[in-house]
Structure 1
Amino acid sequence: MPTTPTATQTIKHAIATGSSKQAIRLCEQALAALPSNSAPDTLGHEQTDLLYLQAVAYRLAGEPSSALSVLQRLQTIQPDYGRAYQEQAYCYRALQRPEEAAAAFYQATRFNPALLSAWQQLVEVYRAQNNKTALDIAQHQCRYLSQLPKALLGAYDLMYEGQLYKAEQVCRQFLARHKHDVEAMLLLGELGMRTKVYHDAEFLLESCVSLYPQEERALVAYQALLLKLGKYTKAVALAKRRLAAAPQHSGARHALAEGLSGIGRVEEASALYQQLLAEKPDAPAVWLSLGHVLKSAGKLAQAIDAYEQAAHYQNDCGDAYWSLANTKTYRFSPPWLEAMQQHEAHPATGLDNRIHFCFALGKAMEDAGEYSRAFDYYQRGNALKKSTLAFSISRTEDALARQQQICQASLFSSTAGAANTDPIFIVGLPRAGSTLLEQILSSHSQIDGTMELHDILGIASQLSGQAAGYPEALLHLSDEQCEALGKRYIEQTRVYRQGAPFFIDKMPNNFAHIGLIKRILPNAKIIDARREPLACCFSGYKQLFGDGQEFSYALSDIGRYYKAYVALMDHWHKVLPGQILTVKHEDVLDDLAGQVTRMLDYLGLDFEPACLNFHATKRAIKTPSSEQVRQPLYQSGRHQYKPFIPFLTPLYDALEIPSAAARRLT
């Protein structure tokens, strides 16, 4: 029996047969019929498809201005949808607005580099402008896309438009017919990274590098993944291997510097960045990287200079301005503020740069006491960032609840696993004070501070690839497997240590994997860094994270996530009684000595005065709180959310703080 055509198929048929008016009506009907209770990610894809088709139909019906109105609505829903910009360009061209058309074609290729027709249009634009550099890039991309197999070009298009699982299906089907095809392997590796199936991506890219050792794109992709996963030792080794073949390769030297920084060799990393800049000063990305290394090393004035140089060489580099704001101490001058506002408002500013500008401007306005304007920028930046993510708070809540269902007390009846007592895990939510606790404890002579290590997340990712899935795989681990995984963790993390008997792993997200930690490292110590919910959630909302923490870009999401975190921590305390220490940030502010003594007692260590003088401890710190923990304790950040209370209704609702009167008391 033939299936009934979907609304989208019917609309496409109407457009293909020249029935543009009918297609417009069908789009309106389908949009009106979309269920309001659909999952946000599913609803977004349906809206995107229908609005795009409606815009195409309007243009073909001779109404490009109406098409532009539809596209504006579409870009509000999904501002990184490349095809929307390509269609926008066709509309501008129909309206005899060539400069706007050229800008829109350019934006289309930035969001979707697989749009061959947009690149072809840019070839003509750059040829007319006599812009040889841009013309060479566009022609190269046209040649590359034209030689790709049709299936892989389609898969790239699907990936860039956010349809990751469809793209993966197409790519796997192609790879089944063309085993070890380099293009398919590279694409599937990138899809693995985008879907966060990192163990698959790592295996694919490592295999690709092994099969095609001279393929530069494979080397770059594998290098980037190793750095993303925090596998800095392997990243350093790969970069050195690349440099052995090409000693002056700037990309490999940059990667080597990033890897060296990751394992704490910041002076060597800084020197490498300085060499690169001596050869080519107009390199904003290198200035940014240098700034990050200097900031982590506590050289704030030099870091600020590096960030300012990045902005100097690329004045629309939003990341440079956000990096300045993210020092938490920098204050923008009026000319810089004006420039930032102009860049943020300019239609040609790229989405990623716009997001960075919004967060930087939010911080600048907050510093100036203009809280309404600050919140407008924070809200805009968060909404833009969230629109680029396929995040579902409901799925996340389900995943955290699944940990409770699987990890019952019986799971921990066996104490098999690596017997090591040296790991100290500090877990919690970001912006909850975990960096402060790490700085305090790493000031003790018996404890090494490291960084936010990815190793537990990597083991969890590996287990998720097993048939049982994760956390169900924990039920099937043998004692021998638990011991092997624990020993692997200890070996992998050894490179970050300086020789003390104990070391800290400060990955906040590990709160979700305490069951795994206690299965493979039963003697590990775990400290839960807890902060008052409103302060913690709003601080996270104001923060633009480098990666992850996708729950933090909507007030309702972050409130629900906080509740799910507390529920899971309550569960861990129930099934692992006495094995986790909760330390409240507010208690540390009020009674530093008492909380230091409490933590050291839990760890079985003698008190040392250096822990009270933590701000004097010299070490590399990579988190947003790096400069804050290099100062004595202060109370000014305790209630930073209070001027924003009128804007925080979704957060109050998510945290179930009910009445206006109760809110005034918080």
Structure 2
Amino acid sequence: MLLLDRATELLLENRLREAEFMFKQVLKQNPTNGKALFGLGRICMRLEQYDNAIYYLKRACEHLPKMLDPLYALADAFIAVGSPVDAKTVLEYALSVARHNAQIHYHLGQFYLDHGFIDNAYQVFKKGLECPESGVSVFMIFELLQLASSSEIPDLMARLERFDGKFEHPKFQIVTYHAFATAHQALGDNKEAFEYYKKANELQLTQCEFRTADMLPFYNRLLATCDEDFFSKPTDKVKSTFTPVFIVGLPRTGSTLLEQILTQHSQVGTIGESIVLSDKIVPYLEMRTERPFPDCIYEPSTSMLDYCRSVYVDEIKKSRVQEEAVINKLPANFQNIGLIYRIFPNARIIHLTRDFMANAWSVYSNHFAENEPYFCSLPEFKLYSEIEQQVMFHFSSHLKRNVFNVSYEKLIDDPERTIQKILNFIYLKYEPECMEFYKSRSKVSTLSKTQVRQPIHNRSLNRWQAFEKEIEKELTQPE
């Protein structure tokens, strides 16, 4: 038992190789030890060895029949290898053995939402509210308020009031405030809705460990590094088997919608909002050059760039993507365009823009799990927007052939023609199936997961106008 406890401690400390050795020692003594099998499965998940993870987690589930965590992990492993049907089977089995557990209802409901089974999600969340109340009940009410009819909202609000101020951790109160705001807005009570949005965002801002202004030195250094000399240096001649496509811009500018439309094309795949550049490639370059980012991208050697390309290709292989054009839709990659250009000189960069007021309101009125200031403050978002514009103007002026600017409004107003132009930009011919994106059951885990299951509409274009005075007042408030 001491060996198992120590292995678990090492896993929590992220000392994976040592933890793996100890878990295997436990299994030598007892090959059916479920906790050791679960530990090895978790290690494989962190190392992105998903097939091995499935092997260990299946065995862990057999020997830990009353534990839900191994089942959750097994479902995640199946999703990672592109087997959502198997993940669905696992989660539905978990529900069958724990029908009075609110957590599994929420977990399965989120799976249904991610894969476009909106009605199933609605029913599971409703059933989940019949379970003994817990913190996750707040999150289920929040989801239901976005799915329910107006006649159901008063009852959901009454349930929500029981949780107001009940939990100590701020994240529960933030979600509670957002849920009240969503309810009031759905009922047409915009004044009350804004007050709750304001409470939610002000509370979340207190949880942020930095301010947008703190990022200015980094962006100034980025622009100084990627100067005229940077772009005048010869690039490697790269023969790639795929076209790297990056969708960049501010949050809530339509990247999920565009990704869903494009991936209906027979030759377009996606690795989603992959952080491979910042989490794997940048640390490697910093280590090899002994210089911080962005200085490390100024003049890397050919061998370094070859390694970076292999890391990116490995990420694509892990995602089981084999199409001709491969999307990475992480909006914040606008700050990595210089790096992208160094690694893939012919990369296609699609820059999404949106009317500022509509964009600002869409960010402010949605709950982002990450505690970042531009997600929960209109003045902070304005500064972030100005930074993004400056950075994109800089890179677009140097890479005119690599960057294609698309406005969210144009995508909504004239989707077919806009998509034709984008596909032409990434060297592909238009396919009419792209316009049937809302029928897809591919995974979507962003805030737009329910919106992209509907045909294109323009309801969101002017939604901000009902709050125009309040938005302007917030934007002029001193920080």
Q: Which moved more, 1:365-374 or 1:486-495?
A: 486-495
350, 363, 367: which one pairs with 2:182? 363
Tell me how far 1:461 sits from its aligned partner: 5.1
Aligned to 1:439: 260
Tell me how far 1:551 sits from its aligned partner: 2.4
Q: Which moved more, 1:637-646 or 1:397-406?
A: 397-406
Tell me how far 1:271 sits from its aligned partner: 0.8
Contact 1:418 1:482 (8 Å CA) reproduced? no
Aligned to 1:258: 76
Alignment of 1:453-464 (within 5 A): 453-460=274-281, 462-463=283-284
2:138 pairs with 1:318: yes
Q: Give the paired residue count.
A: 456
Tell me how far 1:241 sits from its aligned partner: 2.4
Tell me the secondary structure at the aligned position of residue 452 of structure 1: coil
Aligned to 1:213: 23
2:195 pairs with 1:376: yes
Alignment of 1:568-607 (within 5 A): 568-607=391-430
Letter of the aligned partner of 1:615 in structure 2?
A: Y
1-side partners of 2:149 and 2:327: how far apart?
A: 27
Distance 1:246 1:286, change over 3 A: closer
TM-score by length of 2: 0.86
Aligned to 1:429: 250
2:149 pairs with 1:343: no
Aligned to 2:461: 638
Q: CA RMSD in A?
A: 3.1
Aligned to 1:241: 56
2:330 pairs with 1:507: yes
Distance 1:446 1:246, change over 3 A: closer
Tell me how far 1:430 sits from its aligned partner: 1.7
Runs of 5+ unmatched residues, structure 2: 1-5, 27-34
Contact 2:364 2:378 (8 Å CA) reproduced? yes
Contact 2:351 2:405 (8 Å CA) reproduced? yes
Contact 1:537 1:558 (8 Å CA) reproduced? yes
2-side partners of 1:402 and 1:419: how far apart?
A: 31
Contact 2:180 2:193 (8 Å CA) reproduced? yes
Alignment of 1:116-155 (within 5 A): none
Tell me how far 1:552 sits from its aligned partner: 0.6
Alignment of 1:451-530 (within 5 A): 451-460=272-281, 462-463=283-284, 466=287, 467-530=290-353
Contact 1:401 1:568 (8 Å CA) reproduced? no
Q: Which moved more, 1:381-390 or 1:559-568?
A: 381-390
1-side partners of 2:199 and 2:219: how far apart?
A: 29
Tell me the secondary structure at the aligned position of residue 291 of structure 1: helix
Tell me how far 1:423 sits from its aligned partner: 2.0
Distance 1:643 1:502, change over 3 A: same
Higher RCO structure, 1 or 2 (CA under 8 Å, sep 6+):
2
Contact 2:23 2:36 (8 Å CA) reproduced? no
Contact 1:417 1:479 (8 Å CA) reproduced? no
Letter of the aligned partner of 1:333 in structure 2?
A: I
1-side partners of 2:8 and 2:351: how far apart?
A: 44
Tell me how far 1:450 sits from its aligned partner: 4.2
Tell me how far 1:207 sits from its aligned partner: 3.5
Contact 1:615 1:630 (8 Å CA) reproduced? yes
Tell me the secondary structure at the aligned position of residue 522 of structure 1: coil
Q: Which moved more, 1:290-299 or 1:218-227?
A: 218-227
Tell me how far 1:457 sits from its aligned partner: 2.6
Contact 1:530 1:582 (8 Å CA) reproduced? yes
* Larger Rg, first or second structure (1 or 2): 1
State, as a whole percentage, how many aligned pairs show the same letter: 22
Tell me how far 1:587 sits from its aligned partner: 1.0
Alignment of 1:140-179 (within 5 A): none
Tell me how far 1:287 sits from its aligned partner: 1.7
Distance 1:408 1:209, change over 3 A: farther
Contact 1:447 1:504 (8 Å CA) reproduced? yes
Distance 1:546 1:259, change over 3 A: farther
TM-score by length of 1: 0.63
Aligned to 1:611: 434
